[in-house]
Structure 1
């Protein structure tokens, strides 16, 4: 999981560091800071996993169930969130994920006591990373690097990977 996701957090903007390293629910933290919080689902579909998702999910080939959302404050996108799991995991330990609709994934993950979470990992993303390119589709004119954090959630033998990419409007609101 950590390969490529070990950039020193001290390289991140100072105002972002507490957000990258906070171990609780990002959704709960955003709601506390942004009362006009909402989730906008961009897509939920079967897709090939990104190269850096294959090993942690133990998926060499094939497709994963991918859910992409924007975490918003009003009309302002703050975080692009990308979650992936093997399709079998959504039929077993993570079956509720397919029924979330516009509810946050965190509302399910942190309310389910049998789900465990790996330590957080983070990195700076540039235009070479597929998640940077997907986030850039939501923010025309994006040019600089983005910071993201990632963790793996487990329900028994099933795994779900969540990556949260902090967008420039978030930085402006925090600064």
Structure 2
């Protein structure tokens, strides 16, 4: 059996990185890359996936991302998933183009759109992260996290300019809009995953 692994929250300016692993126990109709599904469809599939699979979801805080780096956090999350689900499958497949040098892990570009287990992991990761950002939105009302989920929208960047960063923000992600990047830096944070 195959365990599909995918992440949500690689690129935002705020909030956690969320990585999910899924081993399907039965077929689920309608799975696809979470980014092409409506919020309602993702929510409906979320509960079905949890009912019909072995799964594990790992949250890594913005603080840990700042301290360890994004790649190390991704790698640690994948290793945890593989350890938890190893008795339920015999193969692990990560969406993307790297295995982070993890033994027994395969990768495939666009697996989230073509491999049901990875699509399911994509949905669990995205819905879990979106719910988290909505849950903290009231506490951090200056930033409107429920609307942009921590991504680098103009409104979010404007809020950071006005209020600074909160403890949910990634301080290691530098913004050209705030003159934080020098010529050697790249803006790591303004892409959606």
Give the number of the structure whose alpha-carbon radius of gyration is greater. 2
Q: TM-score, normalised by structure 2?
A: 0.25
Q: TM-score, normalised by structure 1?
A: 0.27
- Structure with the larger RCO, 1 or 2 (CA within 8 Å, 6+ apart): 2
Greater helix share, 1 or 2? 2
Greater strand share, 1 or 2? 1
